[in-house]
Amino acid sequence: MDFEVAIIGAGVVGLSIAAKLSKDYNLVVLEKNLKFGQETSSRNSEVIHSGIYYPKNSLKSKLCIEGRKMLYSYCEKNEIPYKKCGKYIFATSENEISKLDEILANAIQNGVENARKISLEELKSSEPNVSAVAALYFPESGIIDSHSLMKNFETETNNFGWQIVYNSEVVAIDKIEKGYKISVKEENSTFSFTSKIVINAAGLYSDKIAEMVGAFKPEYKLYYWKGEYFSVGNGKNKLVNSLIYPVPNAQVSLGIHATIDLNGGLKLGPNAVFLQNKEVNYSVDKNNLKEFYNSAKRFLPFLEIEDLFQNQAGIRPKLTNNPKEFRDFIIKNETEAGFENFINLIGIESPGLTASIAIAKYVAQILI
Ligand SMILES: Cc1cc2nc3c(=O)[nH]c(=O)nc-3n(C[C@H](O)[C@H](O)[C@H](O)COP(=O)(O)OP(=O)(O)OC[C@H]3O[C@@H](n4cnc5c(N)ncnc54)[C@H](O)[C@@H]3O)c2cc1C
């Protein structure tokens, strides 16, 4: 075998796995783009989630809570910019208050630390410009510079002598005795190599990679849901200090919320637009401006429509086209299907950034 481990995809998940496995395996990472993190990993809210909403014992819940703690210590140790700024969830009308109770109960059951109801006086002292009738506070939530995180994972991998090979698209995978043959398209040529273990961290294309080798089931099919953002300008970005979320209305999205970033920016989003034809297009539809404004005005009353500007978009690789259905991360060694040490990571949507270090630990544990 040429390598012990081949990782497909240099997003935050593939890179975190590479950094984790670097000291124990000889490995290579293949990435079709010219740089790391050009897809979902650089098109998200950069929020370090607490783990509030997911069903207890789901991988999303466990890996988010464990990953969040690991991420904060990793940031400290490696000087990666982050801020534990806290998050509020607001009820903006009386009939949303019971929903807050449900969210708090779920968070406590999941083991989210220090989650609590706060009084409106307390809320006003930290977020004087926000309007709400009741609120929850989650002090463990934060924001992170995801580019620095990925850069650090890459450097760790390189320091062990392993490469992230860019401009290299995996186009075929064959099961061979004791491993896999991987064919890669590079510019105008194709080459192949062998690896004992293959880790499919290909994000939006992870179902296609599973199909290439035959380690695919109908429930692995991905659906694309776009999330657009509008930024808040005209100086009003300074009127919010933390993460401001309304009560969520569906599984597909947490509702249009307000997130701060490490550069003093404030953005609204993401919304959730189902991409019927799965076309990957990161434009932001200016016709959605009104929807963003109306949603956010409920809890950010200082906003005027002229304060909103088209910003960025990302695409969620979701395992369902039903906005109300919960689907967990798929992280599986496909041994039972006859593909020993072919590891599928499919449907790694939010909280994949928060969970990335815990996902890498989990993957290391399921290798044979
Ligand atoms: C709108 C939005 C907001 C989000 N907000 C948050 C948040 O605030 N907090 C949070 O924790 N999570 C958030 N997430 C989720 C988080 O961004 C993802 O879970 C995470 O980035 C997934 O990383 P990844 O490495 O699996 O995928 P990706 O970043 O998509 O990386 C996959 C890589 O595989 C490569 N690839 C694909 N096919 C091939 C091939 N054939 N050959 C070679 N390379 C290939 C791609 O080029 C890509 O670089 C959000 C997601 C979205 C869409």
Residue 232 and residue 204 in one domain: no
267 CB less than 6 Å from ligand 1? Answer: no
Total tally of structural domains belonging to the chain:
2
Residue 334 and residue 352 in one domain: yes
Residue 210 and residue 262 in one domain: no
245 CA from centroid of ligand 1 (Å): 22
Cα 30 to Cα 36: distance, rounded to the nearest angstrom:
10
Q: At residue 184, what are phi and psi to the nearest 5 degrees?
A: -130, 135
Angle between helices 59-78 and 352-366 (to 10 degrees): 100
> Is residue 40 situated within a structural domain?
yes
By CB atoms closer than 10 A (0-12, 13-18, 19+), residue 200 is buried
Q: Which of 22-31, 49-58, 164-173 is predicted least confidently?
A: 49-58
41 CB less than 6 Å from ligand 1? Answer: yes
Residue 227 and residue 310 in one domain: yes
What is the CATH classification number for the domain harbouring 203? 3.50.50.60
Residue 242 and residue 309 in one domain: yes
352 CB less than 6 Å from ligand 1? Answer: yes
Q: What is the DSSP string of 271-325?
A: --EE-TT--------GGGHHHHHHHHHTT-TT--GGGEEEEEEEEEEES-S-TT-
Q: At residue 161, what are phi and psi to the nearest 5 degrees?
A: 95, 10
What is the CATH classification number for the domain harbouring 280? 3.30.9.10
For residues 168-189, give the mean pLDDT: 96
The whole-number pLDDT of residue 249 equals: 72
User: Tell me, what DSSP letter sits at residue 26?
Assistant: -
> Is residue 57 situated within a structural domain?
no
> Is residue 234 situated within a structural domain?
yes
For residues 96-103, give the mean pLDDT: 92
Q: Give the domain range for residue 309.
A: 87-139+223-318
> Is residue 331 situated within a structural domain?
yes
CB under 8 Å to 167, separation ≥6 — which residues? 31, 32, 33, 34, 186, 187
8 CB less than 6 Å from ligand 1? Answer: yes
Cα 358 to Cα 368: distance, rounded to the nearest angstrom:
18
Residue 155 and residue 108 in one domain: no
> Is residue 332 situated within a structural domain?
yes
> Is residue 51 situated within a structural domain?
no
Residue 127 and residue 178 in one domain: no
Cα 245 to Cα 229: distance, rounded to the nearest angstrom:
14
- Please say whether the beta carbons of 128 and 122 come within 8 A: no
CA of residue 215 relative to chain centroid, distance: 24
> Is residue 61 situated within a structural domain?
no
Q: Kindly give the number of the ligand 1 atom that is closest to the alpha carbon of 225.
A: 53
CA of residue 300 relative to chain centroid, distance: 25
Task: Please name the residue that has the structure tokens 């906003």.
Answer: 303
Instruction: Give the model confidence (pLDDT) of 303-317 as tens digits.
Output: 999 999 999 999 999
Instruction: Give the model confidence (pLDDT) of 320-329 as tens digits.
Output: 999 889 999 9
Residue 215 and residue 230 in one domain: no
Instruction: Give the model confidence (pLDDT) of 123-141 as tens digits.
Output: 999 999 999 999 999 999 9
The whole-number pLDDT of residue 256 equals: 87
The whole-number pLDDT of residue 315 equals: 98
**Confidence band for 342, pLDDT divided at 50, 70 and 90:** very high
Query: What is the three-class DSSP state of 244?
Result: strand
Q: Cα dihedral sign for 118, 121, 122, 127?
A: positive
Residue 257 and residue 195 in one domain: no
> Is residue 62 situated within a structural domain?
no
Q: Kindly give the number of the ligand 1 atom that is closest to the alpha carbon of 351.
A: 11
For residues 334-362, give the mean pLDDT: 98
Ligand 1 pocket: which of 29, 41, 180 to mutate (most atoms within 8 A of CB): 41
6 CB less than 6 Å from ligand 1? Answer: no
Residue 249 and residue 307 in one domain: yes
Cα 209 to Cα 200: distance, rounded to the nearest angstrom:
7
Instruction: Give the model confidence (pLDDT) of 182-241 as tens digits.
Output: 999 998 899 999 999 999 999 999 999 999 999 999 999 999 999 999 999 999 999 999
Residue 230 and residue 121 in one domain: yes
The whole-number pLDDT of residue 250 equals: 62
pTM of the model: 0.97
Residue 176 and residue 289 in one domain: no
**Confidence band for 260, pLDDT divided at 50, 70 and 90:** very high
